[in-house]
Structure 1
Amino acid sequence: MVMNEATDIAFYSVDSQLRAHLHRRMEILENSIGQREEEEDLRGLLTTFFAPLTTSFNVLTSMKKPLFSITADDNFLIVFKKFGEHVFVAVNGDGSESEDFLVRKLHVFNRIIGLLYGPVLGRMNSPNLQQRAMEWKMLDSLLKSYEILYSEEQAFLMEAVEHIVFGQLNAAQDVCISLAEDCLNSSLNGGIPNMKHVLLLVGSKVLAICGRSPQLPTADLLLLILMTTNLYQHDPFLQVTAEKEEENHQQQTPEERGTPYQTPTTSPNIEQPPTAASLPTGAIPIPEGGEGGKRSRVGRDDFPPYKTPDDDIPGIHSLAAHPSKGFGGKLKQAFLGGKKGHLDDGLDPAVFEAAEFQRCMEKFYEKKVFLQLNQSHYTPHMIHCMEIFPQIVIVLISESPSSGLAATICQGLSHLKNILAIINGIKNSSTSSKNMYDTLEDTMKKIIEGSKSESKALGSEQLKQFTMRIVKTWAQCKELQIQQSIDRQQKEEREITKVCNVLEKLVDQLINLFQELYFTPRVAEYDKKAVVSRLMRLSSKLKLDYGDYLGLKARINLPFPGLGMEYPGMVHFAFVDRSFDELTSPTIIDDSVTAYVIDRAAEKEQSPGDFLRSKMWMMVRKAQSYVSNGYSSQTWLDNDFLYTYCMWFSTPNPNLGVPLKMLTPINIKAHPDEPPGVLCGSFYRNIKGGTDGTTPGYINEIYCIHEPRITLDEATRQCRELAISLWMDTKQSLAPFPLIN
């Protein structure tokens, strides 16, 4: 739930259990009133219960005695976090979510809101009931998708991007990169103007990134992956089609449906490499070895042949992972068609092409987003998405016109809010009042000039009126002598209140100007049909030759058993290069674990994948809690595994690199309640780890899980060797710091 300073609810997402609990507490029977009245009644109940708590939180925060959480007698856990003028509240009533996770979820939700609305948070709580319902439904859906991805995908657990490991199949990688480059270059020839980045995604993993400077921030990239996953993985068309395919699949005999990923003579219990005959049309078998038998470094270019499991894995990818849910059948034909351009029912190629074009037009989505680039926290961009094959999505990112003015408006808002905080005594000034006023005056001059120019270019009378109001209010600010208010030279509280009111009015007007500039619908400056047609043509080779293969890679990116032979006793690892926030880790599924994990899972009456996943998630959360307290390495043992975590630093060097001697403990300069990660803030960028307390040039993390029979010395030795191998494979000419002495 999000509440403003007046304790008015700006957003809430309440599950059925809490709804029932609130109604019981207020002795209100469900279904006794209409739907619209019930929603208004629920909003009133939430205000009744939480407004006093939120008010207490605001009072304690103003007294420098912040309240972060409340644990009630009935096991309800309530967590508070203030972002700007809004208080975010998270509630858990059954113990399924810890306080740390609720804090993280609030940080991520605030980041999602910033991506969608920039500084115009009022759009989240529109007075138009229909518009507000649409916005809340979208936010609720994104929040639920994040919870699923956090519980299923290591990339969202550790907040780092996971790229597809192509191994020796460089041809597929070349096609993906070429497609991204062609999409970017095609924007210069009658396509989408001012194209900045192109992403090619499969599920929640990255196939290729191509773009112009500045580089796309990792946090924004993860949020775009979240948006596309939420958009296409929950697609009703796919769900209905998959259900029909599954029903037909179950009604067929084994001889009729066959086994699309396994030859009839192959035992399902024997792991064998797939052959061209056993793979679906267009899929590419995995090569068994590199060129000349030369072995590549562990982690990216070398992984063993694998079978394709027939069972679904739980979570967000289960829809397209099953042979009857996304590969084969009519759903696959909806993307590829039959042999030689015909469907199996004899549909004419021209008819199929027209139907496919219409489907792509309907599945081509656009959305305004605000990226956090260096020049501004809210740089307006437009994303254009199209699914070219089940799970494979192209995302085109174009920068909106007059984005430079958006950066100036955000600077003006930041200066005004900073001055208001100083005048109200909330914070102390680190610069002179004259410098603050001069900076604000210069920024306001740029905003007014830019707004006038835009209103003239767009021919917008509405924008012209907004500009005139800002000019008038800014003139009032200058008359009230803001500089004296900053220095607290005005003794009368009435004068200070008057200054604050005018400044707050100016803040509101700048936000309205931002909304008029970047949320008002404009005429498209490109031909949408031409763009869709071009994307279909450019992606045809990828989906015909490698669509099935990449769909499998989304599910099994890096199998572990072959790597386990290199490091006896190791059952799992994760390596995170924090310089670029990239993750390298084996996929956790039932068919890609060691025999020891299978035995331990059987004793716990769990599937091997779920068992190992729960242990890995527990390890990451525990390691992050220690990192937050300044510890750069940890080892511990439980009844099932030995766990080893280490973070190490290095500075750039033209030759070999210079390792740093780490401080004990490391100096965490981030906000005390800011969780480790990139979605929640700048935790890793604020770590000071050198002997002189400076920021290291490179930060890396490694997580390793071993069987308990392995000694600590052997585990740390393997951990060190694996880290060096993975580091060298990142093409960084740096010498790693000895992990654990």
Structure 2
Amino acid sequence: MGYLFLSIGNDDTASMKRFLNTCVMVVRYVCGPNVLELKNNTNKSSLITHLIDCWTNLKNNDQAMFVEAIEQLMVNPDLTASTVQGLREAVEKMQYLTDCSKIHGLLLVQNKFLGLYSSQNAKVLSCTDTLFSILLSESTKTVNTKPEIEPDSEDEFYSPSTTPDDNIQILQTESHENFIYSYQILLSGNDYIPKCIPHILHICPITEGINLLLFIETGSIVVSSNLYDSFLYLHNLQSVQIQRDVETLRPVFENLDTSIKKLSDALKKMKSNSVEAALKQLNRYWDLMRKKYQEFIKARLAESLLRAESMTSGLLDIFKEILKVTAYDKELMKTTQGPANESSKIIMEKLSTFDEFLKVKAMKNFSLGSKTSLTINKYLEEFPGLVHFIYIDRTNHRVTAPNLDFGMDETLALTKQKIWSMISFSRTHLEEGHLSIIWKDTTFSYAYFVWFEDTSGSPVKPTVFPTHASKPLPQPGILSGDFYLKLKEACFPKMSPNKIRCYELYCVHLGLATAQCVLEHARRIAATIWELKGHPDHPIDLL
């Protein structure tokens, strides 16, 4: 949106770039296209600082966050069904008590995904939305450590709303000592064409380490989508008009004109005095600007372009006002906190008999899948010499991996730093277009594979290799854009990305393992990982 994010530090370039990309992502979720709020709203800038600190801590200590994937807490089918049923009842109660129809209920144990239930009309949560929500949920842990709440504090994490622009509230419920943390955020809703969709998010602690997240979609998705496009096209217009070239400027101007017309039509359907006032101002202002741009396009009048340029900041202010009156509903956030508390009681009751089990499970996640006797450790025994692996389904960005246990004799030399370095090394080569690599150090053998399958599970080879991709790819991960979606588009330019599945596998073997052994184990893991996850995947031939 025309803003420059700058990082100064002594890390390597890739790490600093990832840090910056994460900062941009967090700003997008909290501020949307109105980046200037970082300067004008100290509450939001404080929240963003807090989230970035939380991400830094998680990224340095949690392998799922480091690879930017979602770790699912694997429990037996009965417990899964009971969890989803509880979420459904909680969402339905929320609908009944608030008259809000588009709601998601998400249950997290520590930072692991346990279950999700979405009402019928709710816009699908993207994987990035879920990962950001995990980050936001984790950030409330440090909020809890504050000794007392000061209502007059300027810091919005710790106090109820005190100013008209506040989009974050905390409510201490009467039923238990936990707080409900409420935020107004802008979700993407789609990994393919992300938009800024207004949501109220209530984070309801059930017990320590277990949080219920209730997302309420607010406003109009048509308004938010076209408003986001209008912000974007106005920025593009500002960039190209410097060239004073009619042929370059015309299509960008037409895009902005079309998006403003769609935005205007959508705003007309919203019944609000503040929206009507903003709409009148928009139409009046854009009519004047459009005439000046048209004069320049038709007659090459430099004065007309200068006049149009001078009005840009005014139009930007109108967009910001529209964002404020359509995306944020402070009153609704307040009035839905009580119903959120009531809905959370349903989950408390459902989990009351096994919440301690879930918390222990989240720390180890050791017993996975439908076979109660099958554990990660037992699974590893089937692969002599294999000491660690990370398997990621990049279609839904779910990760399956053993917890890092550095106390075992055979893994005593394996450190977190070695695993983090393996991932970073693999990413560097992936960006260079290498989809499979094997290498060694003095103690271990490492391997990394990326492969593709069609919807039936049959292996497919890229028609274009990433080294020949015509468009630059984002960094591997999903927080700064879905790298794997772009990778599929680059490798299969004539196919819909929806029809291609992508998978990643990292392996760490003892150094004596041969390349043939590593390849054979990789194939077997890909073929049998469903035994841990509880549902079958198709085997693939990696090479």
Structure-1 residue corresponding to 2:381: 565
Summarize the alignment of residues 310-709 of structure 1 with structure 2, pairs less than 5 Å apart.
358=174, 360=176, 363-374=179-190, 377-425=195-243, 433=250, 439-454=255-270, 457-460=271-274, 463-480=275-292, 482-483=293-294, 485=296, 490=300, 492=302, 494-519=303-328, 521-523=330-332, 526=335, 528-542=337-351, 544-558=352-366, 560-590=376-406, 594-598=408-412, 600=413, 611-653=414-456, 657=458, 659-660=460-461, 663-664=464-465, 666-668=467-469, 671=472, 674-688=474-488, 690=491, 694=495, 697-709=500-512
Q: Alpha carbons of 1:513 and 1:372: their partners in 2 closer, same or farther (altered >3 Å)?
A: same
Summarize the alignment of residues 103-502 of structure 1 with structure 2, pairs less than 5 Å apart.
103-126=17-40, 131-132=41-42, 134-166=43-75, 169-191=76-98, 193-212=100-119, 213-236=122-145, 358=174, 360=176, 363-374=179-190, 377-425=195-243, 433=250, 439-454=255-270, 457-460=271-274, 463-480=275-292, 482-483=293-294, 485=296, 490=300, 492=302, 494-502=303-311
- Which residue, 699, 708, 712 being the options, matches 2:515? 712
Q: Alpha carbons of 1:540 and 1:728: their partners in 2 closer, same or farther (altered >3 Å)?
A: closer
Q: 1:5-52: CA deviations, max 9, x gaps?
A: xxxxxxxxxxxxxxxxxxxxxxxxxxxxxxxxxxxxxxxxxxxxxxxx
What SS does structure 2 have at the residue aligned with 1:113? helix
Distance, in Å, in 1 between the alignment partners of 2:335 and 2:208 is: 27
In the alignment of these two chains, the number of paired residues is 506
Q: Alpha carbons of 1:410 and 1:361: their partners in 2 closer, same or farther (altered >3 Å)?
A: farther
Q: Alpha carbons of 1:671 and 1:359: their partners in 2 closer, same or farther (altered >3 Å)?
A: farther
Distance, in Å, in 1 between the alignment partners of 2:116 and 2:471 is: 29
Q: Offset at 1:541? A: 2.9
Q: Report if aligned partners of 2:38, 2:45 keep a CA contact under 8 Å in 1.
A: yes
Q: Offset at 1:413? A: 2.1
Q: Alpha carbons of 1:700 and 1:218: their partners in 2 closer, same or farther (altered >3 Å)?
A: same
Distance, in Å, in 2 between the alignment partners of 1:186 and 1:103 is: 43
Letter in 2 for 1:124: L
Q: Alpha carbons of 1:437 and 1:232: their partners in 2 closer, same or farther (altered >3 Å)?
A: same
Q: Report if aligned partners of 2:106, 2:213 keep a CA contact under 8 Å in 1.
A: yes
Letter in 2 for 1:423: Q
Q: Report if aligned partners of 1:150, 1:156 keep a CA contact under 8 Å in 2.
A: yes
Distance, in Å, in 2 between the alignment partners of 1:199 and 1:692 is: 35
Distance, in Å, in 1 between the alignment partners of 2:207 and 2:471 is: 41
Structure-2 residue corresponding to 1:723: 526
Distance, in Å, in 1 between the alignment partners of 2:515 and 2:31 is: 49
Q: Alpha carbons of 1:724 and 1:233: their partners in 2 closer, same or farther (altered >3 Å)?
A: farther
Q: 1:185-235: CA deviations, max 9, x gaps?
A: 223322461333111001110010111453211111111100010013541
Q: Report if aligned partners of 1:113, 1:121 keep a CA contact under 8 Å in 2.
A: yes
Q: Report if aligned partners of 1:640, 1:707 keep a CA contact under 8 Å in 2.
A: yes
Q: Report if aligned partners of 1:650, 1:736 keep a CA contact under 8 Å in 2.
A: no
Q: Offset at 1:539? A: 2.2
Distance, in Å, in 2 between the alignment partners of 1:429 and 1:181 is: 54
Q: Offset at 1:620? A: 0.5
- Give the TM-score taking structure 2 as reference length: 0.85
Distance, in Å, in 2 between the alignment partners of 1:426 and 1:625 is: 40
Distance, in Å, in 2 between the alignment partners of 1:106 and 1:121 is: 14
Q: Report if aligned partners of 2:387, 2:508 keep a CA contact under 8 Å in 1.
A: yes
When Rg is computed on C-alpha atoms for both structures, the one with the higher figure is 1
Q: Report if aligned partners of 1:669, 1:687 keep a CA contact under 8 Å in 2.
A: no
The alignment yields a C-alpha RMSD, in angstroms, of 3.0
Q: Percent identity?
A: 18
Q: Offset at 1:418? A: 2.6
Q: Offset at 1:553? A: 1.4
Distance, in Å, in 2 between the alignment partners of 1:522 and 1:661 is: 51
Q: Report if aligned partners of 2:422, 2:446 keep a CA contact under 8 Å in 1.
A: yes
Deviates more, 1:115-124 or 1:657-666: 657-666
Q: Report if aligned partners of 1:677, 1:684 keep a CA contact under 8 Å in 2.
A: yes
Q: Report if aligned partners of 2:178, 2:205 keep a CA contact under 8 Å in 1.
A: no
Q: Offset at 1:358? A: 1.6
- Give the TM-score taking structure 1 as reference length: 0.63
Q: Offset at 1:538? A: 3.9
What SS does structure 1 have at the residue aligned with 2:199? strand
What SS does structure 2 have at the residue aligned with 1:88? coil
Distance, in Å, in 2 between the alignment partners of 1:226 and 1:496 is: 45
Distance, in Å, in 1 between the alignment partners of 2:77 and 2:86 is: 14
Structure-2 residue corresponding to 1:330: none
Distance, in Å, in 1 between the alignment partners of 2:454 and 2:437 is: 23
Q: Alpha carbons of 1:437 and 1:109: their partners in 2 closer, same or farther (altered >3 Å)?
A: closer
Q: Offset at 1:105? A: 0.7
Q: Offset at 1:661? A: 5.3
Q: Offset at 1:357? A: 5.2
Deviates more, 1:141-150 or 1:356-365: 356-365
Q: Offset at 1:546? A: 0.9
Distance, in Å, in 1 between the alignment partners of 2:130 and 2:73 is: 15
Q: Alpha carbons of 1:731 and 1:495: their partners in 2 closer, same or farther (altered >3 Å)?
A: farther
Q: Report if aligned partners of 2:523, 2:540 keep a CA contact under 8 Å in 1.
A: no
Q: Alpha carbons of 1:690 and 1:678: their partners in 2 closer, same or farther (altered >3 Å)?
A: closer
Q: Offset at 1:124? A: 1.5
Q: 1:107-149: CA deviations, max 9, x gaps?
A: 01100000011112222211xxxx52x3332222111110111
Letter in 1 for 2:520: R
Q: Report if aligned partners of 2:90, 2:105 keep a CA contact under 8 Å in 1.
A: yes
Structure-1 residue corresponding to 2:160: none
Q: Report if aligned partners of 2:383, 2:521 keep a CA contact under 8 Å in 1.
A: yes
Q: Offset at 1:590? A: 3.7
Q: 1:29-85: CA deviations, max 9, x gaps?
A: xxxxxxxxxxxxxxxxxxxxxxxxxxxxxxxxxxxxxxxxxxxxxxxxxxxxxxx32
Structure 1, unpaired ranges of 5+: 1-83, 241-355, 601-610
Q: 1:132-183: CA deviations, max 9, x gaps?
A: 2x333222211111011101111111111110011xx433322222211212
What SS does structure 2 have at the residue aligned with 1:383? strand
What SS does structure 2 have at the residue aligned with 1:189? helix
Q: Report if aligned partners of 1:180, 1:198 keep a CA contact under 8 Å in 2.
A: yes
Structure 2, unpaired ranges of 5+: 150-171, 367-374
Letter in 1 for 2:487: I
Deviates more, 1:631-640 or 1:443-452: 443-452
Q: Offset at 1:502? A: 2.2
Distance, in Å, in 2 between the alignment partners of 1:668 and 1:650 is: 19
